[in-house]
Structure 1
Amino acid sequence: MAEETKPKAKKEKPPAIEEKPFTEFMEQHFTPTLKDSLKKQGLDDIELSFTKAPLSIPGATSDEPCWQVIGTWNQGKRAFKLYFLEEDIKGQKAFSYAVNGKPPSTVESFMIDERKVTLDLMVLYTLQRLNGQKWLTRN
């Protein structure tokens, strides 16, 4: 009699951190990872917060609050905001920056072409956007 061979049970992969609830992912993973990455870029006085607030752009047509990651450094002289217009990292996102305590003048789309949104990509795109302002490294 031949022994029955049982198929090996596949180990269940734990869900990706990006699949966690939005606020949990942002508070426990994205914000701390971004802060560490910015410190590695030499921003020792970086302050990051994650909050729900209205868009702070003059002329914005909506006062509907959205989730935002707000970063400030250089004694508040430099600031940026990542806006999450939906409570989903795969949803619409926007970016703004400001200098010398003034309000930002424009909001730009952020990560609009990415099919897969990961923690590493979100951090990379944020660093690239700040570097585009020449705020992280000198060219």
Structure 2
Amino acid sequence: MAEETKPTPESSNKANSKPPAKAKKAKPPKLEDKPFSEFMEKHFTPALKEAFDAEGIDDVELQFMKQGIPIKGANPSEQCWQVIGNWQNGKRQFNLYFLDENIAGQKAFSYATDGNQPSTVESFMIDERRVTLDLMVMYTIQRLNGQKWLFGN
């Protein structure tokens, strides 16, 4: 008669155990989910500067600040966050307004030339359901090109 062998607790654990499942890596938050000021200062403004550089405009100055809308008739005490860009020694200037302190909220755009104040505020990116860094940069460059400020037309 053959000897019966009983599995030891160690051998049965080895046979039935699976390698430990790899822990899922926590996805870092999307850039667009970061706090508004951090996103604007660390991501949007530098990306916009790079886009200007790619178009051959290397003297652009970009500022991110909270101030009143510089349009005649606007209440200067009602402030909003803005990206203010100018180049050619201030001959060309644009403002992107973030009325809700949120990249997905209401945004507006204005521009001016030769150091003048802008005369109108236009809506900006109103049809976008999802706002991303790349879209914000693309729409800004596209809007400035609408003024024929960037590309030769």
**What's the TM-score bracket when you normalise by the shorter of the two chains?**
over 0.9
How do 1:44-55 and structure 2 match up within 5 A?
Answer: 44-55=58-69
Aligned-partner SS, 1:32: helix
Q: Matched residues in 2 for 1:3 and 1:89: separation?
A: 52
RMSD: 1.5
Q: Matched residues in 2 for 1:83 and 1:26: separation?
A: 12
Aligned-partner SS, 2:112: strand
Measured after TM superposition, the shift of residue 25 of structure 1 is 0.6
Aligned residues: 139
Residue among 123, 138, 149 paired with 1:124? 138
Normalised to the residue count of structure 2, the TM-score between the two structures is 0.85
Deviations 1:39-76 (A, max 9, x none): 11111210000000001001124631100000000110
Normalised to the residue count of structure 1, the TM-score between the two structures is 0.93
Of stretches 41-50 and 4-13 in structure 1, the one that deviates more from structure 2 is 4-13
Identity of aligned residues (%): 65
How do 1:93-104 and structure 2 match up within 5 A?
Answer: 93-104=107-118
Measured after TM superposition, the shift of residue 9 of structure 1 is 3.3
Q: Which structure would you say has the larger RCO, counting Cα contacts within 8 Å and 6 or more residues apart?
A: 1
Determine the structure 2 residue equivalent to 1:3.
Answer: 16
Gaps of at least 5 residues in structure 2 are 1-11
4+ residue segments displaced more than 4 Å: 4-8
Q: CA contact under 8 A between 1:55 and 1:63: conserved in structure 2? A: no
